[in-house]
């Protein structure tokens, strides 16, 4: 059997990453391991594991092969407004249409790309 049990995200500044994922995106810190070099975050889906690394990798988005964390919302316009009020900067001014709905891309403090997604209901 194959199933996703955890999503790993490498970050160069653990404090900034925990603040971003918890205070701005609403994840909950569940546990710290190895003197805080690894932090487990919980949400309604698979847990996220933040792992400390030495330096950022400049990720080219979009159009290059990569893994992008998707966060689903039922109302992308409202979610974008709320996230902007929390200081999140998006890569676009407004939601972008794609074949399954709308998306808005953002970067975490380490440069990892995340997409806020609203899927068509029909």
From residue 22, alpha-carbon distances to 62, 63, 86, 97 in Å are: 25, 28, 12, 27
With contact defined as beta carbons under 8 Å apart, do 109 and 11 qualify?
yes
Question: Considering the entire predicted model, what is its pTM?
Answer: 0.89
Q: CA 46 to CA 67: how far, in whole Å?
A: 15
Does some domain include residue 2? no
For residue 80, the domain's CATH number is 3.10.180.10
Q: What is the per-residue pLDDT for 14?
A: 96
Can you give the residue range of the structural domain that contains 81? Answer: 7-119
The pLDDT averaged over each successive group of 10 residues in the chain (122 residues) is 89 96 96 92 93 88 86 96 96 96 96 95 80
Mapped onto helix, strand or coil, the DSSP state of residue 65 is: coil
**Number of domains comprising the chain:** 1
Does some domain include residue 73? yes
């Amino acid at each position: 059997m194959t199933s996703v049990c955890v999503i790993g995200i490498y970050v160069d500044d653990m404090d900034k990453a925990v603040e971003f994922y918890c205070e701005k995106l609403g994840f909950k810190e569940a546990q710290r391991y190895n003197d805080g070099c690894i932090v487990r975050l919980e949400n309604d889906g698979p847990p996220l594991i933040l792992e400390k690394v030495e330096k950022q990798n400049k990720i080219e988005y979009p159009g290059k092969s990569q893994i992008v964390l998707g966060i689903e919302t039922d109302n992308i316009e409202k979610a974008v407004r709320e996230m902007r009020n929390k200081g999140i900067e998006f890569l676009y001014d407004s939601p972008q249409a794609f074949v399954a709905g709308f998306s808005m891309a953002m970067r975490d403090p380490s440069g990892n790309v995340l997409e806020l997604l609203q899927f068509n209901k029909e």
